[in-house]
Copies of this chain bind each other. A is one copy, B any other.
Amino acid sequence: MKKLTQGRKKIPVECIEDANRLQVCFSKRRKGLVKKAFELSVLCGAQVALIVFSPAGKPYTYGHTSVDAVLDRFLLSYSGDVEAEAVAASQQTDLSELLRQEEELIKARDAEARRGKELQAEVRAAGVWIDGDMRHWELPELEAALNALERVQAEAAMRAHEIFAQDAMMQQTSAPARRTRVTRPPAVMKRWPWTPR
């Protein structure tokens, strides 16, 4: 009943000792970092790859256009292979290409495609990463992604609730495929369900 909240305190930039505080902080800041990365990619049309290993050793990633795409491009530029890097750079997402891919996706799994999966494909095509938590956000990311695709925006907004309400799917994504150079990999990455080590 009473307002007991302390509000934000300044926190020194040094390793947090308390395990619980650290966990909470990591969770919140990881989310915030991904959001910032996402905004940078959308606002400025930049390719971004973000990889974070939690202190517990779990990998979390975000990528636009996809982690793999950016890593490929980076590794190529790093190796000095200018030509190959140019190719990777050209993998930059452009609208028409996104739409083409999306249609392929939709066509391929046509019969069994539920509406929710279509939405997923669109989000995926836009290079937005979604993890377990974010499914429950009122993602500005989702809206922006759909907006970028310039279609089904209104309908998607209506479907968003029912789709995000039903929980499963994103959870049990198959084991991550082996990386392939300059091949367009699945654009969505997620938190690993398993714990390394």
Contacts and interface: CB of A to CB of B under 8 A. Distances in A.
Interface stretch (A23-31, A103-111, A130-138, A157-165): A23-31
A59 interface: yes
B59 A77 contact: yes
B47 A39 contact: no
Interface residues of A, number: 59
Nearest to A90: B197
A55 B46 contact: yes
A68 B70 CA distance: 14
A113 interface: no
Given A13-B140, A43-B13, A140-B13, A29 B36 contact: yes
A11 to B, nearest CB: 7
B51 A49 contact: yes
A172 interface: no
A71 interface: yes
A22 B51 contact: no
Contacts of A46: 26, 30, 52-55
Contact of A147 (B14, B36, B178): B14
Contact of A50 (B50, B175, B196): B50
A65 to B, nearest CB: 10
Contacts of A71: 51, 71, 75
A33 B37 contact: yes
A177 B46 CA distance: 25
